[in-house]
Amino acid sequence: MSYRNKTYVAFASEDIHNYRLMTAWRANKNIEFDFTNAHDIYEARDTSTPETIKRRLRERLNNTKQVVLLGSPAARRKGGDGSSFLA
């Protein structure tokens, strides 16, 4: 079993700008903000099958210490539909 020290950031695709802002904070030397992103490990592309994406999500979460959910009305709608990976 690997060491669980990563952060999984969950968000709706419409909220990618918020995720990119987090990575910009991490890159800024004047801001003390850091996380080891689970998205950088076990990549899952949009062209993957749903089964592959779900397997990759399980692998990411198994190596995750904490989860950050970027909530928004778009994420709530997607998570509430029951068919998205965010759900």
Take residue 57 and report the two structure tokens written for it: 């999500």
Over residues 26-38, the mean pLDDT reads 85
Which amino acid is residue 11, in one-letter code?
Answer: F
The answer to whether residue 44 is domain-embedded is yes
CB atoms within 10 A of CB 9: 20
Domain of residue 58: give its range. Answer: 6-80
Place 8 in a pLDDT band, splitting at 50, 70 and 90: confident
| Sequence-ordered strand ranges (E) for the chain | 6-10, 64-69
Look up residue 83 and give its two tokens: 């068919």
* Structural domain count of the chain: 1
Please report, for the domain that includes residue 52, its CATH number.
3.40.50.11200
What does the pLDDT look like over 36-64, one tens digit per residue? 776 665 555 666 788 888 888 888 888 88
Task: Look at residue 86 and tell me if it is in a domain.
Answer: no
Let me know if residue 63 belongs to a domain. yes
Please tell me the pTM assigned to this model: 0.69
- Between CA 29 and CA 12 the distance in angstroms is 28
- With 80 as the cut, is the pLDDT of residue 4 above it? no
Domain-embedded: residue 85: no
